A = this chain, B = another copy of it.
Amino acid sequence: MTSQPAPVLDLRGDLAALVTALCDVPSVSGDETRLADAVEAALRGFGHLEVLRDGDAVVARTHLGLPRRVVVAGHLDTVPLTDPPNLPVRVLDGPAGPELWGRGTVDMKAGVAVQLALAARLGADVVPAADLTWVFYDHEEVAANLNGLGRLVRNHPEWLEGDVAVLCEPTSGGIEGGCNGTLRVEVRTRGVAAHSARAWTGHNAIHDAAEVLARLAAYTPRTVDVDGLAYRESLNAVGIRGGISGNVVPDECVVTVNYRFAPDKSLAQAEAHVRELFDGFEVTRTDGAEGARPGLDDPLVADLVASVLAVTGGQPTAKLGWTDVARFSSLGIPAVNLGPGDPLLAHKDDERCPVGQVTATHDALLAWLTAH
C-alpha cells in the first residue's frame, strides 16, 4: 500500500497546516507505514530527541536528567475513509472560527500534531519541567490484540516508563479522566439447514436471533459515577451475519455485540453481565480491554487539571470511549485524556476539528510542561 514516499512534515510551522499534512497521508489501521515514516523522519531532525521505532510505532525521548518524566501518546491510525473519501482536508468556517474537515481531524491527528509541535520545541528552545517521552503508535482502531501501544508494552516496556501519561485522544480540549472498558462477544444461534421450500424439515437460526436483538433493543444502558465522574455505558450489536444461500434455511446466525462498560467493574465482571443478559444463548468472547478509573488524585495530574482550567476554563469529565489510558493505568502510571476535537464526531462522516481547539490544547500542555 505504501507506494508514495513519506511527505516532509514541518513541526515548527503552522499547527493547522501540520494537522492537514498528517491527515492527508491516509493511515487506516494496518496501513500506517507511510505516516510513521514521515513522523520518524521529522523527529530525527531534532538533536535533543532520542528516536526509537518498533513496527509502525515511533517513540522520541528527551534525556535532560530531570526528576520526573511525562509520557504523551497518540495513535497514527484512523477508521476507514468515507465513500467518496473525506480527504484531503478542507478548511471551512465554523461557529468559532475555521474548522478542519476530514477523516482523522478529530480521531486523532490534531492531537498528534500538538504532540509533534511540542516535541520539536520542548528540550530545544524551552527547558521543560519534566523529561518527556512522545509516543506515536499504530492499530488503535482495531481489535485490542493488534494495538501498537500494547505491543510496545510487551516488546519495550522501558520505552514507556514515566510518572504520568497524557493521551491526546479528542476531548474538545478538556481533561477526561479514565475511560470505559470495552468487551466484544459473539452471540450465536444454531439451527438445521434445509431447502427453503420445505422449511419445516429444518430450523431457522436467523429467526431464533429475534430474541437476541429484542434483548439488545430493550436494554437500557446505565450511567455510573466513579470518583465523581459520570461514565455512560453502551451496549450494541455492531454486526450480524447469517445465511448460506437464497434457497437454504440457515443453520447459524452470529450477532457481534460491543459492550462499553464503566470502570467500576473489571472486564471479567462486564463479561458476566453480558452472559447473564444473553442467558440461554451461546456467547463467545472475542475481544476485550479493561477500563481505567479517573486518576485525578495524582499531584502531577492535578497540576495538569489546573493548567487546562487556566487556559480554557474546562472542568474534568469522564472519558466514555476506551482509550489506551487503560494501558498506562495497568502499568501503574496515572493517565488522562486531553486532546482537540469533539469526541462525538470521531468516526463520523462529518468529522471536523476547530483550529482554536488545536491551539488551546497546545497552549495548555505547554503551560503545564514548562511550569517550574
Mark A residues whose CB is within 8 Å of B: 79-80, 141-143, 180, 182, 184, 193-201, 204, 206-210, 213-214, 216-217, 221, 232, 234-250, 253, 255-256, 258, 260, 287, 320-322, 343-344, 346-349
Contacts and interface: CB of A to CB of B under 8 A. Distances in A.
Given A210-B217, A216-B210, A246-B258, A236 B195 contact: no
Contact of A256 (B209, B246, B346): B246
Contacts of A238: 196, 206, 243-250
What is the predominant secondary structure among interface residues of chain A facing chain B? Answer: mixed
Closest 5 A/B residue pairs (Cβ): A239-B243, A210-B213, A197-B321, A199-B234, A206-B237
Contacts of A244: 238
Contacts of A346: 195, 198
Given A195-B346, A197-B322, A201-B344, A246 B250 contact: no
A55 to B, nearest CB: 21
A241 to B, nearest CB: 6
B347 A247 contact: yes
Contacts of A253: 240
13 contacts: A141-B247, A195-B347, A199-B236, A206-B216, A210-B210, A236-B249, A238-B243, A238-B249, A239-B250, A240-B242, A241-B241, A243-B256, A247-B347
